[in-house]
């Protein structure tokens, strides 16, 4: 096990998540407070800058191709495009609200784009009803499709550098699945890629060498897996509930890790903070929504 990571923020977030390296810098969310946050990658800054405040939960965002200050977002019961103005005014354009009226109260959770510019995001029940969650795909033409069902707490997804492989975790079941992604965005060949014996895999990212990084909720650590599913690196954290990961920097790459304080009463002083650790392989920035030119 590696040396514990450095604490990067003095602030503690309720449910910090969704770290992404974007043209707007390193962004993340505090899901249940609906805040879109910007983090400085060179020096810890307090307070963390708030880019936008939504009325409901905000699961994750991805940049919109060629549109500074615009993000596609997994938020509330669906997917929306957010436009953040220079003075932090916010416009919300809903693309779909597929979880409105579900038998149990649902919200969107984690999400990201693949290299082809499609946005993928999962949904989950507030009370974590078993198998109530689903995975949605938003195509560049803004069509929204329900593509997988039966997950309880879907997290990720994350994509191989060429976009041909998708990893999707079910945190409640302690597993990470892998799917082949066709050119049209269909999924094939689902299989279990890895399981964790303690806690549950949460937010994930694939680096430039094809390693899968996964935050492990409830286990105070981050795992890195080789492309064949072998655990080859562990980073320890003083926070009990790591939630998402993001590698930043090409010359001297660092892994940033968010965490959550929710459900920990009273919780430790480190729970809910963001952490940083040096790593040996860079990762591409977050893929953008929209067809590549």
CB atoms within 10 A of CB 205: 26
21: nearest Cα among 39, 1, 5: 39
Measured between alpha carbons, how far apart are the two ends of the chain, in Å?
A: 43
Whether the pLDDT of residue 189 is over 90: the answer is no
**Residue ranges at the known binding site for a divalent metal cation:** 17, 155, 202
Q: What is the pLDDT of residue 263?
A: 93
Q: Residue 216 — pLDDT band, cuts 50, 70, 90?
A: very high
Domain spans in the chain, listed from the N-terminal domain onward: 6-278
Class of domain 6-278: mainly beta
Residues annotated catalytic, as ranges: 202
Whether the pLDDT of residue 88 is over 80: the answer is no
Q: Is residue 91 a contact partner of residue 107, using CB atoms and an 8 Å limit?
A: no
pTM: 0.96
Q: Is residue 208 a contact partner of residue 284, using CB atoms and an 8 Å limit?
A: yes
Q: What is the pLDDT of residue 2?
A: 62
What percentage of residues in the chain have a pLDDT greater than 90?
90
Q: Cα Rg for the chain, rounded, in angstroms? A: 17
**Which residue did the predictor score with more confidence, 43 or 215?**
215
CA dist 211 and 231 (Å) reads 10
Whether the pLDDT of residue 175 is over 70: the answer is yes
- How far from chain centre, in Å, is Cα 261? 17
**Which residue did the predictor score with more confidence, 137 or 43?**
137
**How does the average pLDDT of the chain come out, rounded?**
95
Q: Residue 268 — pLDDT band, cuts 50, 70, 90?
A: confident
CA dist 255 and 252 (Å) reads 10
Q: What is the pLDDT of residue 3?
A: 59
**Residue ranges at the known binding site for substrate:** 107, 109, 127
Give 148-165 pLDDT, tens digit per residue.
999 999 999 999 999 999
Q: What is the pLDDT of residue 102?
A: 94
122 strand-pairing partners: 135
Whether the pLDDT of residue 264 is over 60: the answer is yes
Give 13-30 pLDDT, tens digit per residue.
999 999 999 999 999 999
CA dist 85 and 75 (Å) reads 19
Q: Is residue 255 a contact partner of residue 5, using CB atoms and an 8 Å limit?
A: yes
CA dist 142 and 230 (Å) reads 37
**Residue ranges at the known binding site:** 17, 107, 109, 127, 155, 202
Give 57-72 pLDDT, tens digit per residue.
999 999 999 999 999 9
Q: What is the pLDDT of residue 265?
A: 80
């Amino acid at each position: 096990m590696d040396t514990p990571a450095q604490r990067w923020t003095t602030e503690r977030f309720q449910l910090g998540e969704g770290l992404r390296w974007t043209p707007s810098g390193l962004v993340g969310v505090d899901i249940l407070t609906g805040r879109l946050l910007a983090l400085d990658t060179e020096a810890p800054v307090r307070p963390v800058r708030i880019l936008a405040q939504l009325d409901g939960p905000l699961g994750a965002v991805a940049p919109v191709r060629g549109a500074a200050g615009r993000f596609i977002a997994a938020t509330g019961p669906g997917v929306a495009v957010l436009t953040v103005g220079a003075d932090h005014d916010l416009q919300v354009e809903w693309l779909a609200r597929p979880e409105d009226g579900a038998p149990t109260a649902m919200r969107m959770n984690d999400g990201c784009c693949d290299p082809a510019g499609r946005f993928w995001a999962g949904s989950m029940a507030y009370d974590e009803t078993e198998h109530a969650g689903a995975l949605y795909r938003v195509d560049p033409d803004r069509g929204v499709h329900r593509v997988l069902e039966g997950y309880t707490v879907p997290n990720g997804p994350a994509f191989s550098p060429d976009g041909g492989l998708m990893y999707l975790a079910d945190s409640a079941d302690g597993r990470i699945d892998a799917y082949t992604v066709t050119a049209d965005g269909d999924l094939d060949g689902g299989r279990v890629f890895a399981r964790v014996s303690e806690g549950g895999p949460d937010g994930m990212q694939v680096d430039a060498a094809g390693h899968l990084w996964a935050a492990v909720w409830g286990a105070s650590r981050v795992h890195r897996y080789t492309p064949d599913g072998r655990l080859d690196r562990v980073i320890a954290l003083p926070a009990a509930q790591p939630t998402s990961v993001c590698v930043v920097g090409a010359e001297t790459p660092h892994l940033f890790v968010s965490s959550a304080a929710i459900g920990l009463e009273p919780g430790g002083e480190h729970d809910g903070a963001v952490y940083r650790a040096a790593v040996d392989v860079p990762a591409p920035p977050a893929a953008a929504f929209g067809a590549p030119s």
